[in-house]
Amino acid sequence: MVVGLFGGSFNPPHDGHALVAEIAIKRLGLDQLWWIVTPGNPLKDRRQLLPLSERIALSERLARHPSIKITAFERDFATSFTANTLARVKARNPHVHFIWIMGADSLKTFHLWQRWQDIVNTFPIAVIDRPGSTLSFLSSKMARTFDFARIDEDDSQALWKRRAPAWTFIHGPRSGLSSTAIRDALK
């Protein structure tokens, strides 16, 4: 089984998140995509964070694809660090082929994530294009550091067969929606 892991605060989730998930399912040939609603992002202000249960409910209403499974298992791991979460997922599911899914907007600051290099070395990564972030696959610290491990997006269906580090950048339809802009509009 090939499973995409798509984690984030989803504060709130929006159609741009659903578009990233659907592109990942289609372009990577995923059997499932686990949409991981995190308790909180260590790099973001938690004071503006909607309750986890509300973000889960909103994500469930938004995710229309039958292969998407909404989860908040990171809460049970008592961690908000992706490297720890992925290590646990890998240990608990040794026969599943996982791909970490992230929007290109996150790639710009990926090197600030705790143990970001461990993340790159745990599972293959698919970076999905986002408005204003198309060139991040050339300029980000992760892209420069792991340039040798980048595969062409035309080969993205075989990404799950690659041993980490391996990553690809997938171009496609983009949504200009952002959780920050939605929260700002509601203020």
pLDDT tens track for 10-55 = 999 999 999 999 999 999 999 999 999 998 766 676 778 999 999 9
CA distances for 75 relative to 18, 38, 49, 89, 156, angstroms = 22, 7, 15, 13, 30
Tens digit of each residue's pLDDT (9 = 90 or more) over 70-106: 999 988 887 778 999 999 999 999 999 999 999 888 8
Burial class of residue 99 in the structure, from the number of CB atoms within 10 Å of its CB (0-12 exposed, 13-18 middle, 19+ buried): buried
Among 138, 142, 132, 49, CA closest to 100: 142
| Distance of alpha carbon 23 from alpha carbon 31, whole angstroms | 13
**Do 70 and 18 contact (CB within 8 A), yes or no?**
no
Instruction: Please name the amino acid found at residue 163.
Output: R
| Distance of alpha carbon 156 from alpha carbon 55, whole angstroms | 30
Q: What is the pLDDT of residue 183?
A: 59
Domains of the chain, CATH where assigned: 2-186 (3.40.50.620)
Whether the per-residue pLDDT at 178 is higher than 70: the answer is no
Whether the per-residue pLDDT at 4 is higher than 60: the answer is yes
Whether the per-residue pLDDT at 133 is higher than 90: the answer is no
Write down the residue that tokens 């499973």 correspond to: 3
pTM of the model: 0.90
CA distances for 134 relative to 45, 128, 163, 166, 177, angstroms = 26, 9, 25, 19, 15
CA atoms within 13 A on the CB side of 78: 0
* Crossing angle (nearest 10°) for helices 52-62 and 15-28: 60
